[in-house]
Amino acid sequence: MSLIEDLVASYRILAEHGVIDGYGHVSVRSERDPKRYYLSRSLAPELVTENDILEFDLDSNPVTAGNQPLYLERFIHGEIYKSRPEVNAVVHNHSPSVIPFGVTSVPLKPIFHMAAFIGVGIPTFEIRKTQKGSDMLIRTPRLGAALARSLGPKPAALMRGHGSVVVGEDLQRAVGRSMYLETSARLQMQAMLIAGPRGKITWFDAAEVKASVPRQDYARAWDLWRKKALERIKAER
Ligand code: MN
């Protein structure tokens, strides 16, 4: 059981469940040096193995020189680790059901216990406030820092017209939150459709959010997802 193995499993888990596809990435902070983190070289998540994991400093420069292509958006990870000392894992995804909530005035709300963390408040990052006419990608440290400021102390932020970023104290929380953010967005759309403009939807109240969030570590699901992912990797060899 190593951190790198858990990181590789995270790529496979999120790809398997459609939270990331050919794009999207996961990183984890180094246990040895909090000013370093691990992220794959530029590769589709389903292909990532331990050999593809590189170490980066918090300016998102690879620690070991090489000429492998890197994710253009690696600054998302480094800049969040700089601003959030308690965060040890970051997921960037284009999770489809979440996108509509980043482009409308309809906020994501806590509707489902597995994603009660939504009740803490999920901000939306507007890239135009930092750079007009961008291609939406977080290609520079400046854009990464602006995204980290939008995220603030929250567990996730939507990125308008692009995707989202989800963080946690460890990989299992960052991965679990990413999985259930997608599910919860879909459930909210379904509830809004059923309720229609006049129907009532009962959201979590503040006390329910407060009671649910600290307890939810996704441990049982993580053990299952991880076991299945590692079995699939083993079968490929
Ligand atoms: Mn992206």
Task: Flag whether pLDDT at 1 surpasses 80.
Answer: no
Burial of residue 213 (CB within 10 Å: 0-12, 13-18, 19+) is: middle
3-236 belongs to which CATH class?
Answer: alpha beta
Return the pLDDT at 104.
97
What is the distance in A from the centroid of ligand 1 to the CA of 20?
A: 10
- Catalytic positions, written as ranges: 73
Average pLDDT over residues 219-229: 97
Task: Flag whether pLDDT at 35 surpasses 80.
Answer: yes
> What would the pLDDT profile of 192-218 be if each residue is shown by its tens digit?
999 999 999 999 999 999 999 988 999
Share of the chain above pLDDT 90, in %: 95
What is the distance in A from the centroid of ligand 1 to the CA of 136?
A: 8
Cβ–Cβ < 8 Å for 17, 31 = no
Cβ–Cβ < 8 Å for 157, 190 = no
What is the distance in A from the centroid of ligand 1 to the CA of 232?
A: 26
Cβ–Cβ < 8 Å for 178, 91 = yes
Q: Which of 6, 26, 60 is nearest to 164 (CA)?
A: 26
What is the distance in A from the centroid of ligand 1 to the CA of 49?
A: 21
Average pLDDT over residues 132-142: 97
As a whole number, the mean pLDDT across the chain is: 96
**Where are the domains positioned within the chain?**
3-236
What is the distance in A from the centroid of ligand 1 to the CA of 36?
A: 21
pTM summary value: 0.97
pLDDT band of 142, cuts 50, 70, 90 = very high
